[in-house]
Amino acid sequence: MITDIFDNSYGFEGKIYSEIFKTDMAVMIDRKICLDYVMQCVDEFNSLDSEVVGTICSAAKAYCLEFLEETGGDFYGKMKISVTPETAPLEMLKCFKPTVLIVKKPEDEESICYQLECRTDWEIEHSMEIVIFNGNAVYLGVFGGHSPWREFNPDDKFNYINKV
């Protein structure tokens, strides 16, 4: 359920509760989208398959480990847990949190596609982006704000889904 919907310069904004991440978060909605489509995105997000959540956590772990290696460790001193190659992927849920679910005008209303903007403990200067397409994680990396409908290159070394 979306609550507190209001008009802003982007389109519409409201609030949702994430069942998986146990947090309130914003939802940003393009102006020209049917509310039924938005609700399908929210419902799918709140019922992501545990395997997809595992994939997201594994990709987030790969992103975190690479960032920590490049910066020489917990650069910002914000890590809630020590992340190592042995860290269980689901433990990563302690290190990142989605803050915004973004629904852009669909290119195909038969497909469910949305972005998540997340805060992370390891990279506080930039957000992390997750793109979900038809119930599958297809991108996880630095937030670029690009269309979630774009093609994702399977060789993109900055798309950490490719490393899982």
Residue 111 has pLDDT above 80, yes or no: yes
How do residues 46-99 score in pLDDT, each as one tens digit? 999 999 999 999 999 999 999 999 888 766 677 889 999 999 999 999 999 999
- At which residue do the structure tokens 């020590």 appear? 82
- Grade residue 118 by pLDDT with cuts at 50, 70 and 90: very high
Closest CA to 131 of 144, 97, 46, 32: 144
pLDDT score, position 55? 98
The count of structural domains within the chain is 1
Residue 121 has pLDDT above 70, yes or no: yes
**Taking the model in full, what pTM does it have?**
0.94
pLDDT score, position 75? 62
- Grade residue 1 by pLDDT with cuts at 50, 70 and 90: confident
Burial class (CB in 10 A: 0-12, 13-18, 19+), 91: middle
Q: What residue numbers bound the domain in which 128 lies?
A: 3-163
Long-range contacts made by residues 24-30, C-beta under 8 angstroms, separation at least 24?
A: 25/98, 25/99, 25/100, 25/101, 26/99, 26/100, 26/101, 27/2, 27/100, 27/101, 27/102, 27/103, 28/100, 28/101, 28/102, 28/103, 29/103, 30/103, 30/104, 30/105
- Grade residue 113 by pLDDT with cuts at 50, 70 and 90: very high
